[in-house]
Amino acid sequence: MHEMTERMRKCGGVLVSSAAIVIGGAFIANSMARGGDEKPTGAPPSYGVTLPPGYRDWRVISIARVGGVVNDLRVKLGNDIAIKAYRGGKPWFPDGAIIARLAYRAVASQENNAVIGAAAARQGLTPEQVTKLLAESVVAGPALNVQLMIKDSKRYAATGGWAFAQFTNGKPDSGAVLKSCFSCHEPAKDRDFVFTRYSP
């Protein structure tokens, strides 16, 4: 259990992606960002991958929380190609699909808890009853990192057709962070190595 937790931590706790060790290469073609109309940001590459411009405006695929040592909230976003594949209900993704995972530290919101507590008190509930009914409000705190999964079946054939990268504070992380990602996501091979399901 500890070994698996450690592997997930080193991989950034990836649940949205497949991948493995991505080696060399230039930025994935412009068409991979948003159906062809985006250009690289000029940021330093992470094994040939840069943060696609406009990725924060992509559509939401899903939201997840991972507790324990990781303790984060994850927003999974997809470019147009990835979203179309998800909506089509197919367990595979065409070349050009990009999935982004934005991770934030999960923190308790004292502001939200105060509002909930005050509203509950007006309705005659005790603090204990509020806790049982609503528990604690958790929100996205400090940003942790951004991870990308990029489909290019020819360039990354050795890793199931996927490239993977992680960025912290906008800068690419080293290859050591990515070494365990492929083994973590092999169980999702029948879903093109992607764990995250589309939330309607």
pLDDT in tens, 67-98: 888 889 999 999 999 999 999 987 799 999 99
What number is the average pLDDT over the span 38-63?
Answer: 73
Contacts of 61 by beta carbon, 8 Å cutoff, 6+ apart = 16, 76, 77, 78, 82, 83, 86, 99, 196, 198, 199
What pLDDT was estimated at residue 30?
32
Residue 54, pLDDT > 80, answer yes
pTM summary value: 0.69
Taking a C-beta distance cutoff of 8 angstroms, is the pair 100, 196 a contact?
no
pLDDT, mean over the chain: 74
**Structural domain contains residue 199:** no
Residues 6+ apart with CB under 8 A from 98: 28, 32, 33, 52, 55, 78, 79, 81, 82, 148, 149, 150, 151
- Which residues are within 8 A (CB) of 52 and not within 5 positions of it... i.e. 6 or more apart? 32, 33, 34, 38, 40, 41, 79, 98, 100, 148
CA 19/CA 181 separation, integer angstroms:
6
- The pLDDT score that the predictor gives to residue 169 is 92
At residue 129 the predicted structure's pLDDT band, cuts being 50, 70 and 90, is confident
Q: Which structural domain, as residue segments, surrounds residue 81?
A: 2-29+41-191
Q: Can you tell me whether residue 19 is helix, strand or coil?
A: coil
- Determine, yes or no, domain membership for 146: yes
Rounded to whole angstroms, how far apart are CA atoms 114 and 133?
A: 15
Looking at the domain assignment, is residue 198 inside a domain? no
Task: Find the mean pLDDT for residues 21-41.
Answer: 33
Query: Any idea of the CA torsion for 165, 170, 172, 173, to the nearest 10 degrees?
Result: -90
More confident site: 64 or 37: 64
Parallel, antiparallel or unpaired: strands 171-172 and 98-108:
unpaired
Residue 43: which pLDDT band, with cuts at 50, 70 and 90? very low
Residue 24 has pLDDT above 60, yes or no: no
Residue 34 lies inside a defined structural domain of this protein? no
Terminal CA-to-CA distance of the chain, rounded, Å?
32
Considering the domain boundaries, does residue 196 fall inside one? no
Quickly state the pLDDT bin for 13 (edges 50, 70, 90): very low
- Grade residue 112 by pLDDT with cuts at 50, 70 and 90: low
- 109 is a domain residue: yes
- pLDDT at residue 126, rounded to an integer: 76
CA dist 109 and 27 (Å) reads 39
197 φ, ψ to 5°?
A: -100, 155
* CATH number, domain containing residue 123: 3.50.70
Q: Chain-centre distance of CA 14, in angstroms? A: 7
Q: Is residue 98 part of a domain?
A: yes
Residue 200 lies in a domain: no
Residue 61 has pLDDT above 70, yes or no: yes
pLDDT at 130 over 80: no
Number of domains in the chain: 1
How far apart (Å, rounded) are the C-alpha atoms in residues 5 and 172? 23
Comparing CA positions, the residue from 145, 12, 138, 143 lying closest to residue 69 is: 12
Query: Given the DSSP bridges, would you call strands 72-78 and 162-168 parallel, antiparallel or unpaired?
Result: unpaired
Range 17-42 average pLDDT: 33
pLDDT at 2 over 50: no
